[in-house]
Amino acid sequence: CQASTDTHDTSFRKDDLPVHGVSEVIVGVLGGGQLGRMLCQAASEMAIKVIVLDPLTNCPASAIAYDHMVGSFDDSATVQEFAKRCGVLTVEIEHVDAATMEKLEQQGVDCQPKASTIRIIQDKYLQKVHFSRHGIPLPDFMQIDDLEGAKRAGDLFGYPLMLKSKRLAYDGRGNAVAKSEGELSSAVNALGGFDRGLYVEKWTPFVKELAVIVARGRDNSISCYPAVETIHKENICDVVKAPADIPWKIRKLATDAAHKAVSSLEGAGVFAVELFLTKDGQILLNEVAPRPHNSGHHTIESCYTSQFEQHLRAVLGLPLGDPSMKTPAAIMYNLLGEDEGEPGFHLAHQLIGRALNIQGASVHWYDKPEMRKQRKMGHITIAGPSMGIVEAQLKSMLKEEGSESQ
Ligand code: ATP
Ligand code: MG
Ligand code: MG
C-alpha cells in the first residue's frame, strides 16, 4: 500500500546503515505508468524500495510503490526535489527532463542509465544519427525542415515515405505515412507541422519485426534476452512471440546488433532494441528504449529473471540474473482500450474472463484510471510447451471475442 511522505524517511542512507536485505538503496523512478508498476511488483519480491514520480495521483504504480511523489517528471524543480530522496534515479519513460538529469549528475546524483543516453534516445533523429555513427545498420533517414526538403527526401527514398516527429513519440503517435508526394503536406500537418521537428525514414518492407532486451550492469557486463517477434497493429504492439521463429543466423545478427547498439550508450539498466528483418535477411535498427519494454513483458512468466527484476539488479549494481526462458514458448497479447469509458471496460473484462480459464495464461491489469481507445490497459501472457500450442490458445480466446461481438 502507498506510504505517505511523512511516515517514511526515504532519504538515501547507503553509508550509515548496514545492508540487511538485498539493498538499502532507494530506487527513484521517473514515471509511474504500467512499467513503473511492474518494476514495483518485481521490487516487492526482494523488499527493494521503489519510489515513483508521476503527475497522476492514481497512476498505475501509485498503489504499490513504496512512495509516490505527485509531480511532473518533466519539471526541473520537481525532479531535483525527487532526486534528493533517491539513492539511484532511473526512468520508465524517456520523455523526461534530460537537462535536469545532466545537472543532477554533475551534482553527484546517480542516474542509471546516464542522462546522455536519455538525451540521445528521446530525440529519435539524434538517436538515428548516433547509431549510424556507431556503424549499426538502420533505414536511410533525413531531417526535413520544409515541404521542399520533404519532396527532396521523397525523390531520394521513394514512396511510401515514413515521416516521424523527433520527440515525444510513442505507440506510433509521432508517425505518418505519405503514399505519394501529394500526401506529404497532410502527413506533415498530421504530425503538427515542421515546428514540431520532423524527419523521414525510408520505408522498410520488413518480413518480421524483432526485439531484443539487453541488460547492462554497472560493471558494464551485458546480458541479452532471447530475440522475440513483435506484431504491430496500426503502429501499436499487439502480440509478442517468444522466442522469435527465426534461423540461428538471423538470431545471432539481431542479438549482435542489439548488443552493439546498447554498448554505444552509457549507464546501467535494461534497454529494448526494436529491429526490422528484411526479406534478404538484413537486420535494421528501428529504435531503442532505455528502460523495460512491452516486448519484454512475457519475461515475467517465461524467463528466470524478468526484465523488471533485471532492471533493478542492473541499476543497483547487483549481479545480472539469467535471461533465458524457462518455458519453451510464450505469447503476449496487449489489452488495448477498444472503446472509451464503460463499454471499453466491458470488452476487456470479457477477454480477461476467458483468459482466466486458459491453462498457462496470466492476466495483468494496470488499473489505469481512464479507459481510452488504443490505450494499453493490460496484457495477457500465455506460456506453454510450444509456440503452436500457445498460439492456438490465444486464437481461441480471441475468436470467441469476435463471434460474440458479431
Ligand atoms: P513505440 O511505442 O515502439 O515507442 P513509436 O511511436 O516510437 O513506437 P516507431 O517504433 O518508430 O514508433 O514505429 C512504430 C511502428 O511503425 C514500427 O513498429 C513499425 O511497425 C512501423 N514503422 C516504423 N518505421 C518504419 C519504417 N521506416 N518502415 C516501415 N514501417 C515502419
Ligand atoms: Mg518509440
Ligand atoms: Mg517503436
**Ion ligand 3 — residues with CB under 5 Å?**
274
CB of residue 181 inside a 6 A radius of ligand 1: no
CA-to-CA distance for 342 and 315, rounded, in angstroms? 39
CB of residue 328 inside a 6 A radius of ligand 1: no
Q: Tell me if residue 172 falls in helix, strand or coil.
A: coil
Centre of ligand 1 from the C-alpha of residue 69, in Å: 32
Centre of ligand 2 from the C-alpha of residue 201, in Å: 14
Write the residue with the smallest CA distance to atom 12 of ligand 1. 172
- Quick check: 99 and 76 in contact, CB under 8 A? yes
Please give the helix or strand (H or E) that residue 187 lies within, else none: helix 184-190
Residue (of 327, 308, 287) closest to 36 by Cα position? 308
CB of residue 171 inside a 6 A radius of ligand 1: yes
CB of residue 170 inside a 6 A radius of ligand 1: yes
Strand order, beta sheet including 175-178? 141-144, 198-202, 161-165, 175-178
CB of residue 58 inside a 6 A radius of ligand 1: no
Task: Locate 74 and state its grid cell.
Answer: 518533466
- Quick check: 218 and 317 in contact, CB under 8 A? yes
Identity of the residue numbered 51: I
CA-to-CA distance for 352 and 357, rounded, in angstroms? 9
CA-to-CA distance for 241 and 381, rounded, in angstroms? 10
CB of residue 350 inside a 6 A radius of ligand 1: no
Centre of ligand 3 from the C-alpha of residue 156, in Å: 24
- For residue 235, what pLDDT is reported? 87
CB of residue 201 inside a 6 A radius of ligand 1: yes
CA-to-CA distance for 21 and 34, rounded, in angstroms? 26
Distances (CA, A) of 387 to 288, 330, 359: 26, 7, 14
Q: Please identify, by atom number, the ligand 1 atom nearest to the C-alpha of residue 203.
A: 28
CB of residue 203 inside a 6 A radius of ligand 1: yes
Q: Distance between terminal CA atoms of the chain?
A: 41
Q: What is the distance, to the nearest Å, from the Cα of residue 361 to the centroid of all Cα atoms in its chain?
A: 22
CB of residue 207 inside a 6 A radius of ligand 1: no
CB of residue 209 inside a 6 A radius of ligand 1: yes
Substitution site in 126, 206, 284, 286 for ligand 1 pocket (most atoms within 8 Å of beta carbon): 286
- For residue 72, what pLDDT is reported? 94
Centre of ligand 3 from the C-alpha of residue 167, in Å: 13
- Quick check: 268 and 290 in contact, CB under 8 A? no
Q: What is the distance, to the nearest Å, from the Cα of residue 236 to the centroid of all Cα atoms in its chain?
A: 12
Centre of ligand 1 from the C-alpha of residue 177, in Å: 11
- For residue 330, what pLDDT is reported? 98
Mean pLDDT, 10 residues at a time, the chain of 406 residues: 40 56 94 98 97 97 97 93 96 94 95 97 97 97 96 97 92 90 95 93 97 97 98 93 98 98 98 97 97 98 98 97 98 90 82 95 94 92 98 90 44
Centre of ligand 3 from the C-alpha of residue 286, in Å: 7
